[in-house]
Amino acid sequence: MTLVPLLAPSLLAGDHAALGDSAAAVTAHGLEWLHVDIMDGHFVPNLTFGPEVVAALRRRPELASTFFDTHLMLDEPQHHVEAFAQAGSNLISIHIEPDYDHRATLARIRKLGCQNGIVLNPATPADRVRDLLPAVDLVLVMTVQPGFGGQSFRTDMMPKIEQLAAWRQELNLSFRLEVDGGVDLKTGPLCRAAGADTFVAGTAFFTAPDRAAFAATVARW
């Protein structure tokens, strides 16, 4: 299964005093996906924004048809999926590491009308999500320890991506395989070769001297 490469710029690297403008700068390049990082100060040692911010972004005319790829880095995501669905998220991804009913929460996300995703931290082996693969729209492999933008990419995550891509083929599934953390024009192609198709880029996108060229390059991967 080879899905077309999709770039999902991460708003975390945008201007937090002008998030709407930063998000609009993404869609100005014809990009459909926007990656929105939600942190709770517990599961990760940092805080970002909540559903009100997502709802406010959704109200911006330039973002009316943007695909909000919402990455919940929360200890108890089950209590928040409804709020993010109502705020206008299109996809809501939740981590496998905290202890809650993953399967029920993934089902709930779909019931709320969104696509769902399951996320693995660098230390989490692929096996942890194997049984859930038929029940998800996206698997997100973290290529940094989540919590902060601008960290160095972990090349040791490539076997995990390869394993998930192999299971996708074996099981005849079609979930998207996303990577997040330190993804740039050098590290992205490694992920693509390993089987990834959806590329979150925060720092690399927002600091690119030519964002249009960056987006065009990813589209050719």
Q: Which residues bind ligand DX5 (CB under 6 A)?
A: 10, 12-13, 35, 37, 71, 144, 146-151, 180-183, 200-204
Active site residue 180: yes
Out of ligand DX5, Zn ion, none, which partner does residue 202 contact, by CB within 5 to 8 A per kind?
Answer: ligand DX5
Q: Could you tell me the smallest distance in angstroms from the CB atom of residue 170 to ligand DX5?
A: 28
Q: How many residues sit in the footprint of Zn ion (CB under 5 A)? A: 3
Among Zn ion, ligand DX5, none, residue 150 binds (CB under 5-8 Å by kind): ligand DX5
Q: What are the φ/ψ torsions at residue 8 (nearest 5 degrees)?
A: -120, 90
Closest distance to ligand DX5 from the beta carbon of 172 (Å): 29
Q: Where are the extended beta strands (E) located within 15-135?
A: 33-39, 67-73, 91-95, 115-120
Closest CA to 137 of 93, 98, 181: 93
Binding at 118: pick from ligand DX5, Zn ion, none (beta carbon under 5-8 Å per type): none
Residues 202, 184: Cα–Cα separation, whole Å: 9
Distances (CA, A) of 15 to 9, 41, 133, 136: 13, 20, 35, 31
Q: What are phi and psi of 170, to 5 degrees?
A: -55, -40
Among 40, 69, 178, 180, binds Zn ion (CB under 5 A): 180
Q: Site for Zn ion (CB under 5 A): which residue of 71, 102, 168, 211?
A: 71
User: Where do runs of H (alpha helix) occur along 60-187?
Assistant: 81-87, 102-111, 127-130, 158-170
User: Which DSSP symbol is given to 3?
Assistant: P
Site map 36..65 versus Zn ion, x via CB under 5 A: -x----------------------------
Of the residues 40, 69, 137, 180, only one is catalytic, namely 180
Residue 15 one-letter amino acid: D
Give me the count of residues in the chain: 221
Residues assigned a catalytic role: 37, 180
- Residues making contact with Zn ion (CB under 5 A): 37, 71, 180
